[in-house]
Amino acid sequence: MKIAIFNNHAERSVIIAKKLILAMKKNNVDIDDRNPDIVVSVGGDGTLLGAFQKYVDQTESVRFVGLHTGHLGFYTDWLSTELDQFVDSLIHDNGQKVSYPLLELTVVRTSGESYKFLALNEAVIKQPIGTLVADIYLGGQAFERFRGDGIAVATPTGSTAYNKANGGAVLHPSLPAIQMSEIASINNRVFRTLGSPLIVPQDQEIVMKPKSDHFLVMYDQEEIKGHNITELRFKVSEKSVHFAQYRHVDFWRRVQNAFISEIE
């Protein structure tokens, strides 16, 4: 088994990552940052998103596991105070995994060239200055003209992030779907959108045709400037993200821990 360690630059994360490397070497586990079997994220949820984007081209062959250096995050199952138990789980890895859907984003340029990107959490299109205007197509047909601050398209796991703040539903990751939610849409006598979050199943696309080029496209922690973009397409990817299932916390328990609290 080969392990890659991806950490943020916070002092505690750096210290824990060094301890983890020493423990792996002591137990004759290979550290391989290029072609790992398991990617260990040391930090928080943002660090895990960074790890995912670094190894996005190896999504089908690697498994991720998160070691949090603060409190437990949404994607992280272990605390830094549990380092010994965590190392023991890695050493006795049995290959089990739990898989979640990913978002596939296609960017089409005015030149006709297109580029595909994957997101674990979400893609957000925002207009920093002024109003974003974009035509939305569903099922291959024109659905609405959006006017407002922006639009978020989330995976089921990402449904607990910006999507939830926009009034979207929390989706269980066993459902292969994506969800589009509006960010401060304008609705009056002249301008009208559905106003409700939309859940789109596998094999269907959300197509967005922006009417300006002054917007930003952000997916996970990456950013694309909206120059010379004629079309954005969103759908459930055929690929999935895989997490090591040592003690992978149940999705609803994650939601409870993150937003409510433990029920006594």
Nearest 5 degrees, angle CA 126-CA 129-CA 131?
A: 65
Among 30, 32, 37, 45, which one carries the catalytic annotation? 45
Asked whether the beta carbons of 134 and 211 are under 8 A apart, the reply is yes
Q: Say which amino acid occupies 25.
A: K
Q: Report, in this order, helix, strand and coil percent for the chain, each rounded to 5.
A: 20, 40, 35
Asked whether the beta carbons of 214 and 127 are under 8 A apart, the reply is yes
Beta strands in 8-154 (DSSP E): 30-31, 38-43, 63-68, 78-79, 97-109, 114-119, 122-126, 132-138, 141-154
Cβ-based neighbours of 16, under 8 Å, separated by 6 or more: 7, 42, 67, 69, 80, 83
The tokens for 162 are 């910006």
Cβ-based neighbours of 250, under 8 Å, separated by 6 or more: none
Closest CA to 201 of 177, 233, 166: 177
Q: Is 37 a catalytic residue?
A: no
Asked whether the beta carbons of 2 and 37 are under 8 A apart, the reply is yes
Query: 122 vs 6, 24, 101, 150, 241, CA distance in Å?
Result: 21, 33, 11, 13, 14
The set of catalytic residues is: 45
